[in-house]
Structure 1
Amino acid sequence: MPHDPPLPDPDLARRALPRAPLPADCEVLVVGAGPAGSACATWLARAGVDVVLVDQHDFPRDKVCGDGLIPDAHAALARLGVLDAVMAQAQPIGHVRCVAPRGGQVDVAGRLAVLPRRILDHLLVRHAQAGGARLHTPVKFEGLIEDGGRVRGARLRQAGADTIHELRAGWVVLATGAAMPAMLGAGLCERRAPSGVALRAHVRNPALAGRQTTMDVVWHRALSPGYGWIFPCGGDVYNIGVGSFFKRDASTDAANLRDMFDAFTRVHAPAQALMQGGEWVSELKGAPLRCTLAGARTGRPGLLATGEAIGSTYDFTGEGIGKALETGLMAAEALLAGRAQGSAAAPADAQTLADYDARLATLKPRFSLYARANHINRYPWLADLVIWRARRSPGMRQRMSGLLNETSNPGTLISLRGMLKLFTV
């Protein structure tokens, strides 16, 4: 994006685009250098593991996303030791503004920020390199190498190469995002249809500079079963988009996202003002969403999958960066534990797979609660009710802030008991 600040350490930035030949082998091959893959590679490399990290694109590169960093992302970035670098370039935000169909709104406090993925992912992949991971881009994943019922590496094609390269690895980690070809080829995909879709653009509007300071999330009947958003990226540039979530039993109920986007600019006055006086900085792009840690197996001997490939995005909010980072760290921790128990000749496959699933299981209750809260996207009148009460109740606003900070239960907002509390909190 033209407004992006310069990236520090230009020598390291240049090393983010290596053209050296791919190695013959490594301990762990991580396929996909988004948040999940970069987090996994960083954690492993710091522990002394020989890690090769590949991605089909050079960096920096764009990624369809709302660009919002909520508290779980801040916590994961802090664990990785990259939070300060991220916040030095991010736009800090103090509140999410929740806007109901009838126009009621409430500001919910949280530790928040916005940073375009073009910058964030570049910072993360450079951080992985600084930790010792060997980055190779652009490299396309062509398939797995298997022997004796175990994954032993991957077949890769480097840009400009005439032949496929076979890279042997003790473990392969797929962090390939919401697109399913790699997961299908690996035999891990259990549901081809995504959980939802999102559409976003970056728009510059100098007249709004300094006026739009909250992360706006807007519910309206015209946007059901989803919502619209406007997130300030800093200066006079904004991320604007819409997302739609599908029923679990009917992936065919997808809304026409362009129609949703146009409706958003009609029913939400700030969106209308942004677009009427703005200029496109990045084009309107769509992408699938995979939610609720469902729809994919998490691994098999010699292979783990992580991030949005296994559904690490939340229903209801569509937030995915924080949980992608977390699941990437969990994959790395499981591999390190298995490494300590096994050996190159006899890797601890069963223990590693069981350990990884146990770590992911600690996240599943919260994903289930977000799936329940997702009813608000399908029935926008619930947003009217919740926001009406929150405007009158400091306790209710505190509970909503707790949802952002993962200290309160999102599902209780629309349970029968939660509905009754709306009138008593």
Structure 2
Amino acid sequence: MSNADLPSHCDVLVVGAGPAGAACALWLARAGVDVVLVDQHDFPRDKVCGDGLIPDAHHALRRLGVYDEVMAAAEASRHVACIGPRGGRIDVPGTVAVLPRRELDDIVCRAAVRAGAKLRTPWRFEAAVVEGDVVVGARLKQGDVVRETRARWVVLATGAVPQALQAADMCKRRTPSGIALRGYVKNDAMVGRIKALEVVWHKSLTPGYGWIFPAPGGRFNIGVGIAHSHPARDGEPAKMKDVNLRKVFEAFCAHYEPARELMRTGTLEGDLKGAPLRCSLAGARYSRPGLLVTGEAAGSTYSFTGEGIGKAYETGLLAAETLLAAPGGVPAGTADDVRTRYEAALAALQPRFDLYERANRVNAHPWLADLLIWRARKSERLLRRMAGVLEETSNPGNLVSVRGIVRVLFPGA
């Protein structure tokens, strides 16, 4: 979108123009802050993702003022379909939609520019510029050209790939929490047959799940995700499980007939692409003097569902709000005050992420999905609780706790 000269100074330098970075830059620019937003890619650009927009993303998009523009381009749905290993299905009501990240991120990024943010691409983060123990800017690279931009604050929103975190000395865990593989399939014949966002559990996909999400223009986002792909045991460094994602994808298509038909009768557009996931607000330091980490770089993806767009927006907005709330505003706020406020804001979100970590039992034990689906088809109350998980008004961990399972089997207990 922009290749103009990189400014040498600004109030806030936001590195990464995905959901977290663009949201942060938009919010700050709207408040009159001098913001430079950089990304290593020109926009619009592709991004490996399930592309699902669940209620938290809808809420954030409304706050950002781009909801109508996004929904005009998105494929809206009213349900998330949960499908168990034995084929049982329950359609959980909710406000959901699908829009490929190439279009979604471009919409929010353009809104940030309209608000006054200066977008510069393609610039890659090389290192933090540090004086004493305070980050005072960043060294950025484009081809063979290296430039420095000085800033009162740097916000790192560089996603799940750890290189930028490592370069900024903010990485606590190099390996990801999970991994995913997805592709886009054009199949006009399946339009109207797959209307919900379908999530499928089966023992051949353990410890993960498969999905088919209907996207605009007769396209479908189809993929598989693996939770806890890089476990650490007894203090040892995390190592990759012996998992071949392409074989998991093949198993998904072999098990789930709609996935098999989608691939057999449709046209795969481009290649299947994989990506890491950083979940549960784990794996990175959140701040150091002069620098904040936000979005998936800070682990903003839910481990159970793999949903991260809404929480990336939310943490990006938290970073911006924290900077704006500093005494004297962004230029005058002290590093200690900003860091304390920001880390407290993320800590307030942590219990919610912990609940989704508990709900990961479904991915490890897919028979739990069969149990919940079987009971929800007979219980409006349980279906409402499942809808509440989607809306973040119910505790997902309780559905798969020992007590929760007893209540599912024996409602009067």
* TM-score, normalisation: structure 1: 0.93
Counterpart mapping for 1:325-340 below 5 A: 325-338=313-326, 340=328
Aligned to 1:242: 224
Report the Cα distance in structure 1 between the residues aligned to 2:108 and 2:29, rounded to whole angstroms. 13
Which one-letter code corresponds to 1:363 in the other structure? L
- Aligned pairs (5 A) from 1:15-414: 17-159=1-143, 162-246=144-228, 247=231, 249=233, 251-338=239-326, 340=328, 343-344=331-332, 347-414=333-400
Whole-Å separation in 2 of the counterparts to 1:41 and 1:30? 7
Query: CA separation in 2, counterparts of 1:82 and 1:89?
Result: 11
Rounded Cα–Cα distance in structure 2 between residues aligned with 1:392 and 1:386: 10
CA offset at residue 362 of structure 1? 1.6
Which digits, 9 at most, give the CA deviation of each residue in 1:32-71, with x for residues without a partner? Answer: 0000000000010011100000000001100000000000
Q: Which secondary structure does the structure 2 equivalent of 1:118 belong to? A: helix
Alpha-carbon shift at residue 252 of structure 1 (Å): 2.7
Matched residue type, 1:190: K
What secondary structure, in the 3-state scheme, does the structure 1 residue paired with 2:21 have?
helix
1:11 corresponds in structure 2 to: none
Per the alignment, residue 5 of structure 1 pairs with none
1:418 to 2:400 alignment:
no
CA contact (8 A) 1:210 1:235 kept: no
Q: Which amino acid aligns with 1:138?
A: P
* CA distance in structure 1 between the aligned counterparts of 2:61 and 2:350, rounded to whole angstroms: 21
Deviations 1:199-223 (A, max 9, x none): 0000011211221101100000000
Partner Cα separation in structure 2 for residue 337 and residue 49 of structure 1:
12
In structure 2, give the amino acid aligned to 1:238. Answer: F
The alignment partner of 1:273 has SS state of helix
Mapped partners of 1:339, 1:43: distance in 2: 18
Whole-angstrom distance in 2 between the partners of 1:120 and 1:243: 21
Q: Distance in 2 between matches of 1:228 and 1:271?
A: 9
Residue 338 of structure 1 deviates from its aligned partner by 1.9
**Contact 1:195/1:251, CA 8 A, preserved across alignment:** no
Q: Distance in 1 between matches of 2:61 and 2:330?
A: 29
Residue 342 of structure 1: CA displacement?
Answer: 7.3
Identity %: 59
RMSD: 1.2
- Secondary structure of the 1:362 match is helix
AA paired with 2:376? A
Determine the C-alpha separation between the residues in 2 that align with 1:36 and 1:294: 16
Offset at 1:337? 1.4
Distance 1:309 1:235 in 2: 31
* Matched AA of 1:53: L
- Give the ranges of 4+ consecutive aligned residues of structure 1 lying more than 4 Å apart after TM superposition: 341-344
Identify unmatched segments of 5+ residues in structure 1.
1-16
Q: CA contact under 8 A between 1:245 and 1:254: conserved in structure 2?
A: no
Q: How many residues align?
A: 405
For 1:251 and 1:417, locate their aligned partners in 2 and report how far apart those are by CA, in whole Å. 33
Question: Using the alignment, how far apart are the partners of 1:343 and 1:57 within structure 2?
Answer: 28
Q: Separation in 2 of the partners of 1:52 and 1:339?
A: 22
Deviations 1:72-121 (A, max 9, x none): 00001111111111001000010011000011110000000000000000
Contact 2:208 2:226 in 1 (8 A): yes
TM superposition shift of 1:19: 2.2
Q: Give the Å deviation of 1:197.
A: 0.1
Find the residue that maps to 2:240 and give its secondary structure.
Answer: coil
1:163 Cα shift? 3.1
The 1:203–1:124 alpha-carbon spacing in structure 2 relative to 1, beyond 3 Å, is same
Relative to 1, partners in 2 of residues 1:19 and 1:343: Cα closer, same or farther, differing over 3 Å? closer
Q: Give the 5 Å matches for 1:1-12.
A: none
Q: Which sits farther off after the overlay, 364-373 or 239-248?
A: 239-248
Question: In structure 1, what is the Cα distance between the partners aligned to 2:284 and 2:225?
Answer: 22
TM-score by length of 2: 0.96
Corresponding residue SS for 1:57: coil
Partner amino acid for 1:245?
A: A
Q: CA deviation at 1:158?
A: 3.0
Separation in structure 2 between the aligned mates of residue 124 and residue 286 of structure 1, nearest angstrom: 24
Cα deviations by residue, 1:307-341 (Å, 9 ceiling, x for unpaired): 00010000110000000000000000111112536
Moved more, 204-213 or 97-106: 204-213
